[in-house]
């Protein structure tokens, strides 16, 4: 199975799980557990990751992200630009 690219939507460090949204036209959203994160284990919302999809062994009919690997952290958003001159 090949890797997919996604963005971390939510990550709860205390509880050890989060959700990833696939980048692309299908925009699939799936669960992941801390045990499936390789390397960098502290993920934040908007981090880009690659992952594989597998059936969830505890919830038949659902899928989860496995072999989650950190790619890149989005930089802070730019400051808003105001119209009409100086502030």
Does some domain include residue 67?
yes
> What is the Cα 78 distance to its own chain's centre?
21
Strand partners, 37: 68
Confidence bin at 85 (pLDDT 50/70/90)? low
Q: Which two tokens stand for residue 52?
A: 């594989």
Instruction: Say which CATH number the domain at 11 has.
Output: 2.40.50.140
Identify the helix (H) or strand (E) that includes residue 85. none
Q: Which two tokens stand for residue 55?
A: 């059936």
Number of folded domains that form the chain: 1
Confidence bin at 87 (pLDDT 50/70/90)? very low
CA 14 – CA 70 distance, rounded (Å): 19
Containing structural domain, residue 37? 4-72
Collapsing DSSP to helix, strand or coil, 47 comes out as coil
- Single pTM value for the model: 0.76
> What is the Cα 6 distance to its own chain's centre?
5
Over residues 15-71, the pLDDT tens digits come to 999 999 998 887 889 999 999 999 866 899 999 999 999 998 888 999 999 999 999
């Amino acid at each position: 199975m090949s890797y997919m690219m996604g963005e971390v939507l939510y990550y709860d460090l205390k509880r050890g799980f989060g959700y990833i949204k696939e980048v692309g036209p299908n925009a699939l959203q799936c669960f992941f557990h801390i045990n499936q994160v390789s390397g960098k284990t502290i993920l934040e919302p908007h981090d880009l990751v690659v992952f594989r999809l597998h059936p969830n062994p505890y919830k038949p009919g659902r899928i989860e992200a496995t072999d989650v690997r950190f790619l890149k952290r989005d930089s802070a958003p730019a400051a808003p630009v105001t119209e009409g001159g100086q502030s």
